[in-house]
Structure formats: structure tokens, C-alpha cells
Amino acid sequence: MTQWTAEQYTKAQLAGLEALVGLTNKAVEGFERVMELNLQTMKTTLAHTREGVMKALSVQNPQQLIELQIELFQPAADNVLEYRRQLQDILAATRAEFEKVVEVQYTTSKGQLQGLIDSAVSNAPSGSTAPLAAWQEAVKATTTLYESMQSTAKQVVEVAENSFNTAAAAASKSARHRAAQVSPAAAK
């Protein structure tokens, strides 16, 4: 059987280290983007809250207060949905970067393992082909299972995202519809 040299071990270790550093950088970049989004959201929320309080202090009667609440509700709901969309975009981009690195590492490792198995099979003494063939089949089955699970996980994430987007759109539409219904009633 062919043995790895010290240089091959070093290359494998460096590749793993580079992948880890790359993933860490992507995680930090994603974290920075989330923090920037949160800071911007806080600033915007504070400005809207200040504006809403100033308007609330100027109302003359309860009817105006109800109308003000209706007026302020829809933009607040829209801001929440926009925040959620931006956060989801950041998380999806970060996840995609992680998936790229993992896919490259998986493909490289799979190739190295197949090379090791092929080398073991070609250099195996006579009579040991049956255990090596069983080993090859086990590796193939494991690879197939992993790829199937990965595909299923991607589909689950897509379905969950689509369901959440549909629910968020329905909630926003419902809130707009309700505000439109309440506004004429409040004017009476």
C-alpha cells in the first residue's frame, strides 16, 4: 500500500487550515453585516419612535390618537419585514459561502479517499480483494447517503424560506387590509 509522505500530510494540513481560516473570515464578515444591519435598524427605529412620540403629543382627542396608531402601524410592520428580508439575505449569502467551502473540501477528501482505496486494491496481496471490495462498497454507500442527505437538507431550507416568505407576505397584506378597513371606521 502506498503511504503518504510528510509533504502530503503537510499539504493536507495546510489545505484544512486554509479552509478553516476562510470559513472564519466568512463568519466574521457575516457577523459584521448583521451588526451593521442592527445598528442601522436601531437608528431608524429611534428616529421613527421620536417622530411618533412627537405626533402623539400633538393629538387633540382620542379619535386622532386612534388614527395616528393606524398611521404608524403599517410602516412599522413594513420595517420589520424589511429587516427580516435583509437579515435572511445576509444569512443566505453566508450559508452559500460556507456551502462552497464545504463542497470543495468534500470533493477533495472524496478524491483522496478514492485514491487511497484504489492504491490499496492495486497493491493488495492475493486473497484480500473481498474485504477491500466490501470497503469500497461501504465508502460508496456512505457517499451516496451523504449526498442524499445534503440534497434533502437544501430542499428543506428552501421550503422553509418559501413558507416564511409566503406567511410574511400574507401578514403584511392582512395588516394593510385591516388598516384600510379601520381607517374609514375611525373617521366616523
The string of pLDDT tens digits covering residues 89-122 is 999 999 888 888 888 888 888 887 777 777 777 7
pLDDT higher than 70, residue 175: no
Phi, then psi, of 5 in degrees rounded to 5: -90, 170
**Which cell goes with 5?**
509522505
pLDDT band at 31 (very low <50, low <70, confident <90, very high): very high
Angle ∠(27,31,34) on CA atoms, nearest 5: 140
Contact 77, 172 (CB under 8 A): yes
Residue-wise pLDDT tens digits, 142-154? 888 878 887 887 7
**Which cell goes with 51?**
417622530
Q: What is the pLDDT of residue 1?
A: 45
DSSP string, the chain: -PPPPHHHHHHHHHHHHHHHHHHHHHHHHHHHHHHHHHHHHHHHHHHHHHHHHHHHHT--SHHHHHHHHHHHHHHHHHHHHHHHHHHHHHHHHHHHHHHHHHHHHHHHHHHHHHHHHHHHHHTPPTT-HHHHHHHHHHHHHHHHHHHHHHHHHHHHHHHHHHHHHHHHHHHHHHHHHHHHHHHHHHH-
pTM: 0.65
Residue-wise pLDDT tens digits, 43-72? 999 999 999 999 999 999 999 989 888 888
